[in-house]
Structure 1
């Protein structure tokens, strides 16, 4: 449930061939990315199902429950891809449990409205990070990551409910805008931590062996793009950033 994707902003100078998977370093990076996205989707399912208990109406509960089910539905294809690469998907996910769970512990919503904003802008920030990295992947893996992270089916529900609530209660907008700032800071910290702790992902972004990469200036631009897209989502919700 994300807004614009970074594919046009950051694309390798030439497509990475599927044969790149024969390189152990590249393959390890692909496994890491698929595992991180997989656990992120499982965690999102768990969180949305929990947040649904805060719903003010049965209809809202069903909408958020449907969003949770969609997140879990994404895991099947990711899991099968990991199996095809010859790894146990659950073992591959294990290193990402603590950083992703830590993010959710630090950004637990206090009410229904904070939960909706997090589902829209918080998940969007995480998706932006992984989509940026997908720009360095072989076509089949990049397509899988993109399909998983650009599902916008339920975005209209979140945008509609939040904008209506702010119109009815303007002070709510100020509180949710501050919440959005906190989400951005926590999400960027998490993305940097995940990248720093996984050598294969760092090497993928840095390039080498005929593959494109980013220098420090370009990495800074990547995080600037993520911030800009976050601001766009906040604007869509009617929240001044």
Structure 2
């Protein structure tokens, strides 16, 4: 299995959750090789087998090369978790067009490249599971999150379309909303406990629980085209 953006944060937690189940884990990174190596070492310590794969997912050719390298190493690709993402903050009226482009190209176009490249070997085998890490912002927006929310909303249409097109070939695609986690991607936007009133449980989900849920969902044989909100905010 392969996790994009697996060097840190939610991606690292997902890598470790699969490793604990004995999986061979491909850890994708773009620039942070040292952090990816730390994830790989933790994967091995957790009982899995790990390998690093570098690519800029904004490049279709680099993504195709990454998938070929994965198949050269392990011959088959059963699960892909599309987790790599980028976020910026800024009110819509002052949003920098270049930042908008970078977020859309990473979160939406990058996922498009990953789906295309991963689907080819899965369609040949008529089996595979793809989990896309989305965001609650796709449904509800967020102040200062125009590019991020728009990119994540675009994933809804992309994944639902792919699920329809590939379902008869037994390719399952689902989206998860992982909730708030104090990662570098979130930065200072992370709300404190006093500002989680929209969470029915009054708290953010535990990262380990989110990661275990991704593993569970990836292994479901009869679930596809669904959106799974992993915290307690009503959608």
User: Do the structures match in fold with TM over 0.5?
Assistant: no
Higher relative contact order structure (alpha carbons within 8 Å, sequence separation ≥ 6):
1
- Give 1 or 2: higher helix fraction: 1
- Give 1 or 2: higher strand fraction: 2
For Structure 1 versus Structure 2, the TM-score category normalised by the shorter chain is 0.3 to 0.5
Q: With structure 2 as the length reference, what TM-score do the two structures score?
A: 0.32
Q: With structure 1 as the length reference, what TM-score do the two structures score?
A: 0.32
